[in-house]
Amino acid sequence: MPDPTSSNTDEELNTAKQVQLENVGALTREQLTPDAAANPEGHDVPGHDHTGHHHPAGKKMVDLAGKAADEHAGHDHGDGEHDHGPAGDNPYLWPGVSLVLLLSGLALDYFDVAWFTDYVRLGWYGVAFLLVGWKVIRSALQSIPSGNIFNEFLLMSIATLGAFAIGEYPEGVAVMLFYTVGELFQDAAVNRAKRSIRALLEIQATEVTVIRDGQTVVLDPKQVVVGDTIEVKPGEKVALDGTLTKGPASFNTAALTGESVPQTKQAGEVVLAGMVNLESLIQVAVTATYQDTKLAKILAMVQDAVGRKAKTQQFITRFAKVYTPIVVALAVLLVLVPYFVVDDYVFRTWLYRALVFLVISCPCALVISIPLGYFGGIGAASKNGILFKGSNFLDLMRELDTVVMDKTGTLTQGVFAVQQVQPAAGLDAPQLLRLVGALETKSTHPIAKAVVLHVGAAATGVPVENVEEISGHGMRGRVDGRDVLAGNTKLLTKFSVAYPPEVDQIVDSIVVAAVDGQYAGYLTVADAPKEDAVRTVQELRADGITKIVMLSGDKDSITQRVAKELGIDEAHGGLLPEDKARYVQQYKDGGRKLAFVGDGVNDAPVVALADVGIAMGGLGSDATIETADVVIQTDHPSKIATARRIARATHAVVWQNIWLAFIVKGIVLILGAGGLATMWEAVFADVGVALLAILNAVRIQRMDYATPGTGGTPPGAAPPVAALRPENESVIEKMPEELRQGPHPR
């Protein structure tokens, strides 16, 4: 496969939809709320020069308004928002009123109340019908000019109005009410899929200090031109790409690389928009306009990828295009044909049979059981700490053949820890740790903190004096009366301390030490894999995933080591977000159906680009979480395999409901056409089958989706958040085999 990090595809990727980035900037200031989340956190002491560590980016709320995938293909939801009718913002009000009217009307019918007859009864049920049925009738009428005549809206309208025509008012109301309730359940899932790029936009600085003619002036970043010099205070975001005019300086780079270990930049090195200045007042010579920064390109990719995510057309809509004209034609023939073949033909009798036929044929069981089946799958996933943002992603999750994952925070813990202690001859490990740990207590660098945490109490109370931080190298000081150096190999070279050549071959971040001018050993510090990372790869491969890839912003040497340790097929390191996007696009162009799993702000473009974007929700960036289609609430990658099991079970139950409705309705339709089925049979074929389908869909939430022998929660996992109600976890030991495989695909 060609290297997608080459620059020849950069223009294609970032301008696929001609995103106008000046408008992106305008949204930042004019349409977004001012309470942006805090800047990414992190500190650097210019005595270390290590890379490869990631802290979660600063949390930012995201709402991709107007970008939600409308799963109701052909349904009328207005301009990106669901039309809940006269109830306004409360979509449950009028269905609730309709239900009360229906139940009370049935009670009045049962007790044969004297005044509840004729026009009073018609008006009573008519109000209940219009409260829930007016949208369906309107949709049926609005679809006629476009040529989309034969759909479920037309069939339901004819069937329910037919029920009113033959005096079966409760049946007409019940059909519409059942459909509306199913739509509300489906809408609840669809609403979760609304997302916005607001938080990503808020990563961009809204103002910048520019030095012109020896004076500082605060401007909009769009007003800055190439060649200007900007000033960035400690804690501020760099607004534009440029070169550092005077160094060194330390930056948190999480917004771009996802690897937020502070990076030390020297004078003349490139500084990118979105980086956070951590230490001192700095100046940057601007080399790119506001529209051309790396961060602006990330935002463009997110907009582009979300816009290109295909919608999934519901089965019932495709089915209705064939089913509806056939049923309507049969109903018409059922009225007309007997006139020519039956001796005692009575028009009213055959009209009644045709209307009963239409009531029976109404696909209520389908239009409610299908979305409820998916809603059950979404609920089951929630109980397992997985959030699906729409039913279409359950289908897509089942169809995957490739899983692409970020490294830090996804497969690894995202926390530095000492992995190996190797003292030199003449010094034991406790002595080395005591001296290095005591010196590192004077540093706030993440690697230093990891060393101090590992050493523990042994590093406290040790006298440390004459501490000196040497930029880009490490630390020097006198510890317990001995001269100690701790940092990278450049530090030892600077002080002419010889060390074994094999130290240079170590791929992990390393702290090399010298005591009294002699090499004393080293400590390796790395981000350890999560406890279920190996199991995740094994389960995905056993579950039919044929290609597992790891893409990381960390050093390629570290990325390759982790990939080998976890048994991953293919890995690439040292990548920026656009590099990850190129790899994912190439896999998709090769016919792969893939999911991308990530956690940082930098992963948001790739998460949006993938067929299924999966975010690690416990520690991940809100930008990535809200851009994702699936969120793993507990941050355990093994939940990806769990999500696939839930998707297959949901698919199986939905198809069970479809066949149940087909078989029962087929039998009763034949009986109805022959006059052997009354409205009671029609009620069973319609509402009864719908109720059975609902009960079947509820089963999805009672199944146990844990891998046999592992239990429901990975080792060391925190239980799902309270809102997921873990106390409702099923005690079923094993999911039935037929639900694991499902019937034939849709």
Q: How far is Cα of residue 342 from the mean position of the Cα atoms in its chain?
A: 62
654 vs 743: CA distance, rounded Å: 10
Sign, Cα dihedral of 566, 568, 570, 572 = negative
738 vs 648: CA distance, rounded Å: 10
Q: Which residue has the tokens 């690697």?
A: 447
Residue 174 contacts by C-beta under 8 Å, 6 or more apart in sequence? 102, 683, 686, 687
Cα–Cα–Cα angle for 558, 564, 567, rounded to 5 degrees:
140
130 vs 110: CA distance, rounded Å: 23
558 vs 565: CA distance, rounded Å: 11
Give the three-state DSSP class for 469: strand
Please state, as a whole number, how many other Cβ atoms lie within 10 Å of the Cβ of residue 40: 25
Q: Are 240 and 297 in contact (CB under 8 A)?
A: no
Q: Are 600 and 54 in contact (CB under 8 A)?
A: yes
Please, what is the angle between helix 315-341 and helix 364-383, to 10°?
160
Q: Are 395 and 746 in contact (CB under 8 A)?
A: yes
Which value, in Å, is the radius of gyration of the alpha carbons in the chain?
32
Cα–Cα–Cα angle for 90, 632, 576, rounded to 5 degrees:
110
HEC string of 262-273 equals CEEECCCCEECC
622 vs 56: CA distance, rounded Å: 10
292 vs 221: CA distance, rounded Å: 12
Q: Are 643 and 630 in contact (CB under 8 A)?
A: yes
Please state, as a whole number, how many other Cβ atoms lie within 10 Å of the Cβ of residue 180: 23
φ/ψ of 405, rounded to 5, equals -130, 145
693 vs 320: CA distance, rounded Å: 18
Please state, as a whole number, how many other Cβ atoms lie within 10 Å of the Cβ of residue 116: 15
408 vs 582: CA distance, rounded Å: 19
Tokens in use for 143? 């679809």
55 vs 658: CA distance, rounded Å: 47
Residue 341 buriedness (CB in 10 A; 0-12 / 13-18 / 19+): exposed
Give all strands of the β-sheet with 276-277 in edge-to-edge order. 263-265, 249-252, 276-277
The four Cα atoms 102, 107, 110, 112 give a dihedral, to 10 degrees, of: -100
Tokens in use for 681? 């049979």
- Maximal CA-CA distance, the chain: 119
Q: Are 569 and 548 in contact (CB under 8 A)?
A: yes
Nearest Cα residue to 92 out of 188, 160, 190, 194? 188
Nearest Cα residue to 612 out of 413, 318, 411, 391? 391
Q: Which residue has the tokens 């913002």?
A: 89
Q: Which residues are catalytic?
A: 406
Nearest Cα residue to 203 out of 40, 43, 42? 40
Q: Are 482 and 515 in contact (CB under 8 A)?
A: yes
Nearest Cα residue to 508 out of 560, 582, 467, 585? 560
135 vs 160: CA distance, rounded Å: 13
